[in-house]
């Protein structure tokens, strides 16, 4: 078989390529051709190609199977922002495989979040103080307010965003917000059983007190 045959029609050899001889698997031109079709084939080539940025970027743009490429590349390229941005654009869950320095990069994390709901568990702890990150995550799952820094739990706008999609997020808000009438009503109007989580200072307010009936008389004066 001629090298030119593989380069001209790489898609024809996707399934059989793993059985090709070593000389083909050390050839950079063949690597570029094959990974342009199937990104996962990067593991069939000599290890040094996993540290070759052009080959890796080509694999990340592959016609098929480009979502798991980042897990297969060198540590050096997992620190490369351009590489990681493309990887998380393919699938936000690739944030898991990025270097920790990029899991602490707001642009990278926001890009990952725009392509998956899952990456929040892989972000650097320092970003749990980041308001922009919190806004995106809490707009999807208010219960995750519990995972954020105290500064986020004290933020009224973010608390309201969290409560909008998960009323019991009020239990994770700072105590000062549990005593905020607007925040309390946002939760109560969605689910009266959040009454147990609001501050007792509000429970004498007629607009708030009406929700005590869902707990019975024994709770009405709490």
Q: Whole-angstrom Cα distance, residue 103 to residue 96?
A: 8
Same domain, 104 and 168: no
Same domain, 18 and 87: no
135 occurs within a structural domain: no
The per-residue pLDDT for 214 is: 67
Q: Which domain holds residue 17?
A: 1-73
Same domain, 222 and 154: yes
Domain stops at, among 123, 155, 186 = 123
Q: Is 60 helix (H, G, I), strand (E, B) or coil?
A: helix
The per-residue pLDDT for 222 is: 43
Same domain, 186 and 155: yes
The per-residue pLDDT for 39 is: 96
137 occurs within a structural domain: no
Half-sphere exposure of 132 (CA within 13 A, CB side): 10
Q: What is the CA radius of gyration of the chain?
A: 26
When divided into structural domains, the chain yields a total of: 3
Same domain, 206 and 150: yes
Same domain, 150 and 221: yes
> What pTM value is reported for the model?
0.87
Q: What is the DSSP string of 15-54?
A: TTGGGS-HHHHT-HHHHHHHHTTBGGGGGGS-GGGGG-HH
Same domain, 66 and 99: no
Same domain, 90 and 47: no
**Average pLDDT per block of 10 residues along the chain, 222 residues long:** 91 94 96 97 97 98 94 98 97 96 97 88 93 96 96 98 97 98 97 94 93 60 44
Q: What is the DSSP string of 97-139?
A: GS-TTTTT-HHHHHHHHTT-S-GGGGS-GGGGG-HHHHHHHHT
The per-residue pLDDT for 218 is: 44
């Amino acid at each position: 078989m001629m090298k030119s045959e593989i380069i001209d029609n790489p898609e024809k050899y996707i399934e059989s390529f793993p059985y090709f001889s070593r000389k083909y698997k050390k050839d950079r031109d063949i690597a570029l051709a094959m990974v342009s079709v199937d990104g996962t084939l990067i593991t069939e080539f000599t290890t040094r190609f996993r540290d070759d940025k052009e080959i890796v970027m080509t694999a990340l743009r592959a016609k098929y199977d480009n979502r798991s490429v980042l897990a297969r590349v060198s540590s050096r390229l997992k620190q490369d922002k351009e590489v990681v941005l493309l990887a998380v654009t393919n699938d936000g869950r690739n944030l898991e495989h990025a270097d920790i320095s990029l899991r602490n990069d707001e642009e990278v994390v926001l890009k990952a979040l725009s392509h998956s709901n899952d990456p929040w568990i892989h972000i650097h702890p320092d970003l749990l103080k980041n308001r922009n990150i919190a806004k995106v995550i809490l707009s999807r799952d208010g219960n995750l307010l519990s995972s954020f820094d105290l500064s986020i739990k004290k933020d009224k706008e973010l608390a309201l965003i969290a409560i909008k999609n998960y009323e019991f997020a009020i239990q994770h808000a700072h105590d000062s917000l549990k005593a905020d009438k607007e925040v309390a009503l946002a939760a109560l109007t969605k689910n009266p059983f959040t009454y147990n989580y609001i501050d007792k200072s509000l429970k004498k307010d007629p607009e708030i007190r009406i929700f005590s009936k869902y707990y019975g008389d024994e709770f009405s004066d709490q």
